[in-house]
Amino acid sequence: MARKQITGIGPAPRTGADDTGCPILHVDMDAFFASVELLERPELRGRPVIVGSPAGRGVVLSATYEARAFGVHSAMPMSRARRLCPQATVIPPSHGKYSEVSRGVMEIFHSITPMVEPIASDEAFLDVGGALRRLGPPAAIAAAIRAEVLERFGITCSVGVAGSKFVAKLASKQCKPDGLLVVPQEEVVAFLHPLPVSALWGVGERTEQALVRLGIRTVGDLARVPVATLQRELGPSAGGHLAALAWGRDERQVSPHVPDKSIGNEETFAADVDDPEIIKRELLRLSERVAARMRKGGHVGRTVSVKLRRADFSTITRSRTLPEPTDVAQEIFATACELYHAAGLERVRLRLVGVRMENLRPADSASRQLTLGERETGWREAEQAMDRAIRRFGPDAVLPASLVRGKLDEMEA
């Protein structure tokens, strides 16, 4: 593959930039969920579109760049997004479609290199150092990835090319949407220093406020502060970390087999709920989803956590570690209900509930032994049979009886 001339979009133009020593790619799909929805609704192209709950509850999952021009962004409350952009078309999410496209995109990445580190359904790091002889230089590989994603799926992605994960991720953000930016090794400092200090990994709102009080507003400002001063103000670890990033030093490698730390799902109710039966029904639904994801990924977990958000947005979490690891929804659900009751919120209006499994390990490493006199429940085998039915007939092919009753109640209402 011949070297292609690449024009980057960012702080400084990069035309035919030298990508020597830049084997790290960060590929980020552009407005992923919204872009997938527009494949079926092309008449909405060029218009503000928000993916989220049409009822105004929950948060924005994705927004087209036309909506973003009004200040809408992911994770923003839907109520605020509707106020900022009342003319936007709101589309409810279709997670099955996003998962299907995500799998296809990841297949493209793995056809390039086994060194792929997914960090979300719509983005990943790639180390293409081992593919250079076969496919050409990094910028050409990045261009080929962008072309194949567009050809196969009809959506665009932005790619940052650099010598480290940190700089590659910043580069992909700078060239959005539908761009490619190479940051040559010798230009890393010039690329970083004009950026706001909030661009650094680890700089959240509080850290940014602390830095601004010190007169530090850009990465260049931070780079000129002695490391000892940063460590005194921010702590030894955070101060040293940010000082290194300000000069482009990031030793982290692309890790293709990063294990999941936790698996969870949460749901925002269409209206605040204080009925314990409805809440427990939702806890069951979420437990089923979490357990299915764990079985699909080959995980079991020991720690069950529930998230309970009141109508006033105050949130509490409760967790419990089980004696044995599990991937069985009924065991997760039973523990989630106990945690819900223990929280004392049975007659409190809730806006959101969530269930999460932590302390994960590979399923084949867990061999549960029955204690003397204990009977095998058969739940695991039943749920594995449900998995097979769902894969064949769809997500609602098999449901627990209480969830079926819940659907009937909703239809009658």
Residue 187 has φ and ψ, to the nearest 5°, of -110, 10
Distance (Å, rounded) from C-alpha 83 to C-alpha 65?
A: 17
CA angle 98, 28, 13 (to 5 degrees): 150
DSSP string covering 107-171: HHHHHH-S-EEEEETTEEEEE-GGGHHHH--HHHHHHHHHHHHHHHHS--EEEEEESSHHHHHHH
3-state class percentages of the chain: helix first, strand second, coil last, to nearest 5? 45, 20, 35
Determine if residue 327 is labeled as part of a ligand binding site: no
Residue 52 DSSP class: S
* Cα-to-chain-centroid distance, residue 190: 30
List, in order, residues 6 or more apart from 279 with CB less than 8 Å away.
Answer: 273, 340, 350, 353
Residue 2 DSSP class: P
Q: Sheet harboring 62-63: ordered strands across?
A: 62-63, 49-51, 89-91
Residue 266 DSSP class: E
Q: Known catalytic residue: 123?
A: yes
Q: Are strands 62-63 and 14-15 parallel, antiparallel or unpaired?
A: unpaired
Q: Which of 318, 294, 316 is nearest to 305 (CA)?
A: 318
Q: Are strands 180-182 and 157-162 parallel, antiparallel or unpaired?
A: parallel
CA angle 330, 98, 404 (to 5 degrees): 35
E strand spans, 191-346:
262-273, 299-310, 315-326
Question: Around Cβ 313, how many Cβ atoms within 10 Å?
Answer: 9
Six-digit token string for 52: 């989220």
Distance (Å, rounded) from C-alpha 172 to C-alpha 186?
A: 18
Q: Which of 352, 359, 300 is nearest to 329 (CA)?
A: 300
The one catalytic residue in 37, 117, 123, 383 is 123
Distance (Å, rounded) from C-alpha 387 to C-alpha 295?
A: 9
Distance (Å, rounded) from C-alpha 129 to C-alpha 124?
A: 16
Determine if residue 122 is labeled as part of a ligand binding site: yes
The answer to whether the beta carbons of residues 259 and 118 sit under 8 Å apart is: no
Residue ranges for the known binding site are: 28, 122
Query: Among all residues, which ones are annotated catalytic?
Result: 123
Q: Which residues are annotated as a binding site for Mg(2+)?
A: 28, 122
